[in-house]
A and B are shown apart, each in its own frame.
Chain A
Amino acid sequence: MKRVDFIKLIILLIGLGLFLPGFSGTGLADDASAVAQAAEAAPLSELAKLSEAVSASKIALDTVWVLVTAFLVFWMNAGFALVESGLCQAKNTVNILAKNFVVFAIASIAFLVIGWGLMFGDGNSFIGMDGLFFLLGADNSPATGDAYNGVYSAMNWTGVPLYAKFFFQLVFAGTAATIVSGAVAERIKFLSFIVFSVIIVGFIYPIGGHWIWGGGWLAKAGMWDFAGSTVVHSIGGWAALAGVMVLGPRLGKFTKDGRVSPIPGHNMSTATLGALILWLGWFGFNPGSTMAVDAEAISRIALTTNTSAAAATLTATLTAWLMLRKPDLSMILNGTLAGLVAVTASCAYVSVVSSLIIGLIAGVIVVLAVIMFDKLKLDDPVGALSVHLVNGVFGTLAVGLFAEDRFMPGTTGDGLLFGGGTKLITSQIMGIVGIGVFTFIVSIVAWYVIKAIFGLRVSKEEEMEGLDIGEHGVEAYHITGSEGRIRPL
Chain B
Amino acid sequence: MKKIEAIIKPFKLEDVKKALHELNIEGMTVTEVRGFGRQKGHTELYRGAEYQVDFLPKIKIEVVTSEETAVKAVDAIVNAARTGQIGDGKVFVMGVEETVRIRTGEKGKDAL
Give Cα distance in the complex from A485 to B50, angstroms: 14
A486 and B52 contacting across the interface, CB-CB below 8 Å: yes
B10: chain A residues at CB < 8 Å are 464
Query: CB distance A488 to B53 under 8 Å?
Result: no
Q: Which of B20-28, B37-45, B71-79, B97-105 contacts A (4 or more CB under 8 A)?
A: B37-45
User: In the complex, which residues of chain B have a beta carbon less than 8 angstroms from the beta carbon of A475?
Assistant: 44
Structural contact, B54 and A473, CB atoms closer than 8 A? no
A485 to B46, Cβ gap below 8 A? no
Residue-by-residue, is A235-273 near B (CB-CB < 8 Å gives 1, otherwise 0)?
000000000000000011000000000000000000000
In the complex, A472→B48 CA distance in Å?
11
Main SS at interface, chain B = strand
Q: Does A322 contact B (CB under 8 A)?
A: no
A489 touches B52 (CB 8 A): yes
Q: Which residue of A lies closest to B34 (CB)?
A: A485
Q: Is the CB of B43 within 8 A of A489?
A: yes
Measured CB to CB, the residues of B under 8 A from A are 9-11, 14, 34, 41-46, 49-55
Would you call B51 and A487 a contact (CB within 8 A)? yes
List chain A residues, Cβ under 8 A from B52.
Answer: 486-489
Known: A464-B11, A488-B51, A489-B43; 18 extra A-B contacts, CB below 8 A, are A251-B11, A252-B11, A469-B42, A469-B44, A473-B43, A473-B45, A473-B46, A475-B44, A485-B34, A485-B53, A485-B54, A486-B51, A486-B52, A487-B51, A487-B52, A487-B54, A488-B49, A488-B52
Check A474/B11 contact, CB under 8 A, given A485-B55, A486-B52.
no
List A residues 463-489 near B (Cβ within 8 Å). 464, 469, 472-475, 479, 485-489
CA distance A464 to B46 in the complex (A): 21
Nearest Cβ in chain A — how far from B2, in angstroms? 30
A266 CB, min distance to chain B CBs, angstroms:
13
CA distance A479 to B32 in the complex (A): 12
Q: Which residue of A lies closest to B10 (CB)?
A: A464
In the complex, what residues of A have CB within 8 A of residue B50's CB? 489
The residues of B that contact A473 with a CB separation of less than 8 Å are 43-46
> How far does the alpha carbon of A196 sit from the alpha carbon of B48 in the complex, in Å?
27
Q: Which of A384-430 contact B (CB under 8 A)?
A: none
Which residues of the partner chain B approach A464 to less than 8 Å between Cβ atoms?
9-11
Q: Once the chains bind, are B14 and A486 in contact (CB under 8 Å)?
A: no
Report the separation of the CA atoms of residues A489 and B52 in the bound assembly, to the nearest whole angstrom. Answer: 6
Known: A464-B11, A479-B34. A489 touches B42 (CB 8 A): no
Q: Are A474 and B34 in contact (CB under 8 A)?
A: no
Assembly CA distance A485 to B43 (angstroms): 11
Nearest-neighbour CB distance to chain A for B23, whole angstroms, equals: 20
Q: In the complex, A475 Cα to B42 Cα: how many Å?
A: 12
Q: List residues of chain B with CB within 8 A of the CB of A469.
A: 42, 44
- Rounded to whole Å, the gap between the CB of A93 and the closest CB of chain B is 14
Q: Which residues of A have CB within 8 Å of B46?
A: 473-474
CA distance A252 to B13 in the complex (A): 12
Q: Which 4 A-B pairs have the closest CB atoms?
A: A473-B45, A485-B55, A464-B11, A488-B51
For the complex formed, measure the closest distance between the CB of B106 and the CB atoms of chain A, giving whole angstroms: 34
CA distance A488 to B41 in the complex (A): 13
Considering only CB atoms, which chain A residue lies closest to B41 in the complex? A485
Minimal beta-carbon separation of A461 from chain B (angstroms)? 8
> Which listed residue, B9, B14, B41, B45, touches A474 by the CB 8 Å rule?
B45
- Closest residue of chain A to B14 (Cβ to Cβ) is A252
A458 to chain B, nearest CB (A): 14
**Residue of B at shortest CB range from A472?**
B45
- Interchain CA distance A252-B18 in the complex, whole Å: 14
Looking at the complex, which one of B11, B34, B51 makes contact with A489 (CB distance below 8 Å)?
Answer: B51
Bound CA–CA A464/B15 (angstroms): 14
10 CB contacts below 8 A, A to B, read A252-B14, A469-B42, A473-B45, A474-B45, A475-B44, A479-B34, A486-B51, A487-B51, A488-B51, A489-B50
